[in-house]
Amino acid sequence: ILNGGVPIARRLAFLMTQVEGFTIPCGSVDIAGYRDDRPANGDDRTDIPFSLKDKTLILVDEVVFSGRTVRAAMDAILHHGRPKCIQLATLIDRGHRELPIQPDYCGVTFHTEASDHIRVTTKEQGDADDCVVLIEAEERE
């Protein structure tokens, strides 16, 4: 899922390719036009350079929170094709779900206040190191 899930998805695809011995394709899905809580920006930057038909698709996001991003991503994916199944992988599950969505693969479950924010940055996004930062609500004010 653009933006934060893409670097993690690329790493996973690279590692899975090494383990499996064949290329695991990787794409990206732009959810901007599929959100129900934000206006669409008009541009669709989705890049899925392979057929989804009969594929097991692993949707990757860096943080799973309310479930709204994942729901929008599933809508966007289904607009581009119909995979055999969709699974969800996340680096951090912080709870506070508004929709019945749960990750199939999770790095860590990290309990936060609903008003907190978690920022994940990676080397691929220009940082010197990978970094996870919890920003408590009162720190953002």
pLDDT value at residue 141: 58
Backbone angles phi, psi at 30, to 5 degrees: -95, 120
Res. 140: pLDDT tops 70: no
Q: How far is CA 4 from the centre of its chain?
A: 7
State pLDDT tens for residues 91-116. Answer: 999 999 999 999 999 999 999 999 99
Domains in the chain and their CATH numbers?
A: 5-112 (3.40.50.2020)
pLDDT value at residue 135: 92
For the entire predicted model, the pTM comes to 0.90
State pLDDT tens for residues 36-84. Answer: 877 777 788 999 999 999 999 999 999 999 999 999 999 999 999 999 9
State pLDDT tens for residues 115-139. Answer: 999 999 998 887 778 999 999 987 6
Written as six digits, the tokens of 118 are: 């978690």
CB environment 68-89: b (16+ within 10 A), e (fewer): bbbbbbbebbeeeeebeebebb
